[in-house]
Chain A
Amino acid sequence: MAFELNGKVYETDEEGYLVNLADWDEDAAKYIAGVENVEMTENHWEVVNFLREYYNDYQIAPAVRVLTKEIGKKLGAEKGNSKYLYELFPYGPAKQACKIAGLPKPTGCV
């Protein structure tokens, strides 16, 4: 499976996650967000960018606690909780935000 934007081909798995991390760019993020019915605001980008940074350092998406704490620091304490993250990414911050950020899907009992 794959999608194409401006002549560039992005390979995905059955569920729409990018196969190659390095393929990711902002256009791909916007495209995947569109498929997911998520409209990307500045706050969405904060989350997505942090996910990518963290993944870069740790080879895994941040745990929900790590993510909420960081978002609280960046966007204000009242936004540092899962409820707010679910507002941004209704299908669940772990899976939907990872997909938009071009990261592999978190697997397991989540």
Chain B
Amino acid sequence: MAAAPFATPQLKGYPVIPLVQQGAMAHSKPFVASAPIQKALGFPEELVENWQDKAIAKMGELLGKYRSLRVYMDTCVHCGACSDKCHYFLGTGDPKNMPVARQDLMRKVYRRYFTFAGKYFPWLVGAVDLTKEVLDDWYSYYNQCSECRRCSVFCPYGIDTAEVTMAAREIMASVGQGQKYSNEIIGKVHRIGNNLGIPAKALENTLEGLEEDTKEATGVDVRFPLNVKGAEVLLVTPSADFFSEPHVESLIGYAKVFHAAGISWTLSSHASEAGNFGLFIGNYDQMRDISMRVREAALELGVKRIIVGECGHAWRVAYNFWNTLIGPFDFLDQRYPVPQHICECTYDLIQRGALTFDREANDGRIITFHDSCNVARASRMGGMPGGQFIIPRAIIKAVANHFHDMAPETIREQTFCCGGGGGLLTDDLMELRVKGALPRMEALKSVVDEHGVNFMATICAICKAQFSKVLPSYGFEMEMIGGVHQLVGTAIRLGSPK
């Protein structure tokens, strides 16, 4: 890769707020979406001529539609509580990566065009015109936010920078300045059904291969069914689960759970993606169109339950938005959560004694758990407060003997993003990804040094891909990262081979 070289930050034994380095990441920006990519989503093919007017009009529209955005623009008192809470600031030292500064990029434009003072006395309230320089700054720094919401946990007013970022991206895409990585992927979902662009025939071939592999490894006929009408469960999972390591290990884990519990299930080639990058670009139409494939597949196959695999933002979309976007789900079995997370399903089976494990099979692993931001701060599990933290950990402890949490200020609702979330998991942002992983890597190093941790489990495809890539930069093995259901799959008893 012909990227400019950069230095990986040093891991320190304790967290340090970095010295401010003005403009340290001003050069970081992802590739702009090309004309065909933009066109496929109905966005202008390039920056339109009257982009400034269009952008301001769009901003007005969003301020009207989302009251929260206007409240966020108005209420910040610049107390600074959020400023050292963002992993991208902590990893890069660039003051524009302080959440409040990121919001201010929009706030100063908001004030200029949407407040009385800013219209007539812009110099008094720090209001600025939306110039090309400002737009370039937006493109750079709104693509240095993973929409993880960590900052909002510390803001006394609950201001959510992630929503500001989403609005900014939506505005930029609508004037022709979309981001290549996310928009290309969304186009593939519309065309083929998943982020990777795996056609049905390839999916079938891949799943057959997994049946062979699992049979070879266990002696048991564990099925990986595709497009089976009348199955009880439709499993919707990130397409990386079909394609990549370590993701596929979790897919094998889900299949083993269904096998052991005797639940009939199926995947769908129409809805072969749980991920929904419409969220990342702040566009509800895209989010609905992507989600709709799940409803269509569920109806077509006549399933009774929908279960979502290990994907952080997919769970946020499913948990928070599916009912509004693609509901009602009156055709599903209401005795189960609609939708249900695979961890809820496995946890429930464990509680009922329906699964048994050889925990010793995981004895080579000393495990910690990385909470993924969208699960931790934007959803729940199990209908109990904190269920999204309790359930994955309870599963790990049921299937393995050695577990150690990382420092409390780096997990649960205060978890640090992996550094690659929110549509930033792309090669052209590698410097940002490596540096943004710093706070998590420091927390990991502590448990590695103290407890000999050698495995970090997570329930998100982006986290898995991001850590596989950045762990080696910090001197760790890439095999340290894996899924919760990878651990389940290792220990689960399948009954006697047939």
Chain A residues in the interface with B (C-beta under 8 A):
14-16, 35-36, 58-60, 62-66, 69, 82, 86, 91-92, 94-95, 104, 106-110
Contacts and interface: CB of A to CB of B under 8 A. Distances in A.
Contacts of A66: 205-206, 209
Contacts of A16: 2
Contacts, number: 94
A65 B210 contact: yes
Contacts of B148: none
Contact of B185 (A15, A59, A108): A108
B1 A107 contact: no
B427 A58 contact: no
Given A59-B202, A107-B181, A64 B197 contact: no
B64 to A, nearest CB: 34
Contact of B196 (A14, A60, A65, A95): A60
Query: Secondary structure at chain B's binding surface: helix, strand, loop or mixed?
Result: helix
A109 B425 contact: yes
B176 interface: no
A95 B198 CA distance: 15
A60 B197 contact: yes
27 contacts: A14-B180, A15-B427, A36-B1, A58-B202, A58-B205, A59-B199, A60-B199, A63-B202, A63-B243, A64-B243, A64-B245, A65-B206, A65-B209, A65-B213, A92-B469, A107-B197, A108-B197, A108-B238, A108-B239, A108-B275, A109-B195, A109-B238, A109-B239, A109-B311, A109-B462, A109-B464, A109-B465
Contact of B198 (A15, A60, A104): A60
Given A63-B242, A106-B243, A108-B194, A69 B209 contact: yes
Contact of A110 (B201, B206, B244): B244
Contacts of B478: 86
Contacts of B461: 109
Nearest to A35: B2
A42 to B, nearest CB: 24
Nearest to B199: A59
A91 B184 CA distance: 22
Nearest to A108: B195
B428 A15 contact: yes
Contact of A63 (B31, B185, B199, B248): B248
B474 to A, nearest CB: 17
Interface residues of B, number: 41
B245 A69 contact: no
Given A65-B213, A95-B427, A106 B196 contact: yes
B188 interface: yes
Query: Secondary structure at chain A's binding surface: helix, strand, loop or mixed?
Result: loop
A94 B244 contact: yes
Contacts of B425: 109
A94 B465 CA distance: 12
Given A35-B2, A62-B206, 10 more contacts: A58-B205, A60-B196, A60-B198, A63-B198, A63-B242, A94-B243, A107-B195, A107-B196, A108-B194, A108-B197
Contacts of A86: 478
A61 to B, nearest CB: 8
B355 to A, nearest CB: 25
Contacts of B195: 107-109
Ranked nearest first, the 9 interchain pairs of A and B with the lowest CB-CB distance are A108-B195, A58-B202, A109-B461, A109-B240, A108-B196, A63-B243, A63-B206, A60-B202, A110-B244
Nearest to B248: A65
Contacts of B199: 58-60
A88 B467 CA distance: 20
Contacts of A106: 196-197, 243
A15 B2 CA distance: 8
B31 A110 contact: no
Interface string B36-61: 00000000000000000000000000
Interface string B441-452: 000000000000
Contact of A109 (B202, B248, B275): B275
Contacts of B198: 60, 63
